[in-house]
Chain A
Amino acid sequence: KNEVEQSPQNLTAQEGEFITINCSYSVGISALHWLQQHPGGGIVSLFMLSSGKKKHGRLIATINIQEKHSSLHITASHPRDSAVYICAVISGSGGGADGLTFGKGTHLIIQP
């Protein structure tokens, strides 16, 4: 079973700062997801990665398959970025038989 660790658990930053959230996993994967959850519960999928790097607006996600590590970066952070960011993986073997395995999430607060 894949173990997914995220850091930091909590992060408070000032508006405009560059934010980095890290995710490590223990077993090879077929894909990694970065999710955003706002208060109230709704979850939005930000990125799905199996290699390399993806960028969408101010958000950048990278993954290093050899090191079993991914990072989510937010440039020019804004208070509306305040949310819980969750890393989730599909293990590489078994065709997704274990479903998504989730990290505990990073609670991000951006202060004006």
Chain B
Amino acid sequence: KAGVTQTPRYLIKTRGQQVTLSCSPISGHRSVSWYQQTPGQGLQFLFEYFSETQRNKGNFPGRFSGRQFSNSRSEMNVSTLELGDSALYLCASSLAPQGHSYEQYFGPGTRLTVT
């Protein structure tokens, strides 16, 4: 069974631009969660989608948004990029929503650099 895939793997953007990252979950998984990892803050929860609905969202500004499609693939978008948005963005998929004690499977991440 194929694992979680994320595209692109690396991305360089300029301040003020917007970016869209993609995540394809493991086949059959309907929950997709997104995380941001920076050297200073570590791993932080961005949001979770299940069956095309956002279930919950972490403490991030409205510039961070996402969506999930009917095939469970998910995208996250960051508008008006800031230097501090430079990070590794990870997605993880699971059979059921968080809180239901199902294991999460992580993708390789997208490394975003904002210049």
Contact = CB atoms under 8 A, between A and B. Distances in A.
B105 A96 contact: no
B99 A97 contact: yes
B67 interface: no
A96 B100 contact: yes
Interface residues of A, number: 26
Contact of A42 (B56, B99, B108): B108
Contact of A99 (B48, B102, B111): B48
B21 to A, nearest CB: 14
A44 B48 CA distance: 19
Interface string A1-41: 00000000000000000000000000000110101000001
Contacts of B46: 99
Interface of A: 30-31, 33, 35, 41-45, 48, 50, 86, 88, 90, 94-105
